[in-house]
Amino acid sequence: MTDKTVVKNRGLLTFAVALGAVMQVLDTSMISVALPHLMGSLSATQDQVSWVLTFYVIAVAITTPASGFLALRIGQKRFFLICVVGFTVTSVFCGLSESLGEIVAFRTLQGVFAAPLGPMSQAILLNNYSAEERGTAMGWWTIGMMFGPIFGPTLGGAITEYFSWSWVFFVNVPIAIATITMVILFVPESKERARRQFDIFGFVVLGIALASLQFMLDRGERADWFSSLEIMILAGLSAAAFYVFAVHSLTARNPFINPAIFKSRNFSLGLVLMFLLGVIMLAVLALLPPYLQNLSGYPVLAIGLVLAPRGVGTLIASYIAGRLLKYIEPRPIIALGMALGALSTWQFAQITPDVSASQIIFISTIQGIGMGFFFVPLSIVTFSDLKAAQLPTGTALFALSRNLGSSIGVAVVVGALIRNTQRNYADLTPIVSPFNEIYRHVPLPSMWDIETRSGLAAIGHEIGQQASASAYITDFLLLTIASVVCIPLVFLCRNPRAKKTVETR
C-alpha cells in the first residue's frame, strides 16, 4: 500500500478516481440513448450506427488487459491522467464528427482510453487503503459508478432533446477538468514499476481472440449464429487465438499476463463470480425493457422510471456492505447478494404481461440490493491475496471478466429468446384449427374468428405474444439457475479475515 503520509485527503482521492471512472460509465449510458438522433444526423442505417457501439466495445476489450502492464510501466497516477486526457480529447472529436466513418474512428480511440479508467481507479484505491478500509472504499466507489446507469439515460435523453447529440460527448470536458485537477492534487504516484519487456506477441494474439469473440457476439443474432460461415470463422479464429495465447503464456519467459496471478484461489474464483455478475447485470436489462414495452405496453419513459430503483438499491446496499465488511467476513455477504439476485430473476419469471409498475419496482429494488451486496465484498475477496504489483493487472482482468460476462450473457439470453419464441409459436399454431374439438365447447371471441382474415391476424398476434412471454420466462429461469448453481463457489474462496488473523499471531 502507498505510504499513508503521502495521501493528503483520502476522501478526495476516492472522489477523484471515482469521478474519472464515472465519466466513462456516464458517457456509455448517454450515447446509447442518443443513437437514434445520431442515426438521423449522419444518414446512417440502424446496422451502421451500431458500429459506434461495436467498435468502442472491441477497443475496450482489447485494451483492458494491457492497462495493468502500462500502469506498472508508466505509474498508476500518470497513466490514469493520460487516459482521462485521451478520453476527453477523443470525446470532443466524436462530438465534432460529420460522418459515420469519423465518429466510428474516434469512438474506437475513445474506447482505447476508456478501458483503463475503471480498473485503474480500483487499483489506486486498493493501493491507498489498508485491508480494513478497503470495504468502505469499494462501497463508495460502487456508489459513484451507479450514477452512470441511473442518471445517464435521462441526462442523455435531455441533452439530445434540447441541444444535440454532440453535447453528449462535450459534457465530458468539465467532468474531465475536475478529475484531472483533483487527481494531480490528491492522488500519490504508485511506487511499483514493471521492469520486464512488453510481450507484443501475447498482446496481439489475445487482442485477436477478444476482437473475434466480440465481433461474433455482435453479429451472431443477425447472421443466425452458426448457420453462418462468417460466425463459424470468427468462432474458430477466437478459439484458436485463445489456445495459442494460453500455450504462449505457459511457455514464454515474460508472458503478457503472468500465469502466477491465477495461483490465487480467491482471484481465480473471483473472476468466475464477476463473470456471472456481468451476465446477470446486462442480461436482465436486455430482457426487461422490451418485455415491458412490447408485451405490457409501457411507454419508454415509464420503463426508465420503474427500472431506476434497481440502481438506488445498489447504492444503498453498496454503502451497507462496505460498513458490514468491518465486522463480518465477505463470503456470507456475497452469498446473500447472489441469493437476492436469484430471487429477483425467479420473481421476474413469474410476471405476466399485465404486471404492475409497483411489482417491477419491488423486484428491481431487490435485484439492485443483491448486486450491491455481491460486488463490494467480491472485490475485497478477489484481490485479498494479490501483491501490490499485481493489483493493476488484477483489476484489469476483473473488469474484462465483467465485460465478457455482459457480452456473452446478452448474446445467450437474446439468442435463446428468439429460438424459444419461434419454437413456442410453432407449438401453439396447430391448435388454431377448425378441427380442434375444444372449439365446440369453448367458442372463441368474435375478434378471433378463424373464418376471417382479421380474426386470423388477431389470433396470430395473440399467439405471438404468448409465445414470446413464455420464452422470457425460460430466460429468467436460466438466469436463476445460473445464480443458484454458482453460490457454492463463494465458500471455496479463502476467508481474508482468517488470513489476517493468522498473520497477526
Above 90 in pLDDT, residue 302? no
pLDDT given at position 221: 76
pLDDT given at position 407: 83
- Give the mean pLDDT of 486-495: 90
User: Pick the residue with more confidence: 459 or 256?
Assistant: 256
CA separation for the pair 121, 129 (Å, rounded): 12
Residue whose C-alpha cell reads 443458484 in the numeric block: 484
Angle at which helix 265-290 crosses helix 300-324, to 10 degrees, equals 160
The class that CATH gives domain 6-195 is mainly alpha
- Sorted by where each begins, the domain ranges of the chain are 6-195, 199-255, 259-505
Contact 335, 327 (CB under 8 A): no
| pLDDT band at 3; cut points 50, 70, 90 | very low
User: Pick the residue with more confidence: 290 or 433?
Assistant: 290
Above 60 in pLDDT, residue 505? no
43 Rama class: left (phi>0) / alpha (psi -120 to 50) / beta: left
Above 50 in pLDDT, residue 504? no
Q: Which H, E and C letters describe 289-344, residue by residue?
A: HHHHHHHCCCCHHHHHHHHHHHHHHHHHHHHHHHHHCCCCCHHHHHHHHHHHHHHH
Q: What dotted CATH number matches 259-505?
A: 1.20.1250.20
Short-list 500, 453, 273, CA closest to 370? 273
CA separation for the pair 33, 298 (Å, rounded): 17
Q: What are the angstrom distances between the C-alpha of 305 and each of 150, 153, 300, 360, 361? A: 10, 11, 9, 10, 9
Share of the chain above pLDDT 90, in %: 24
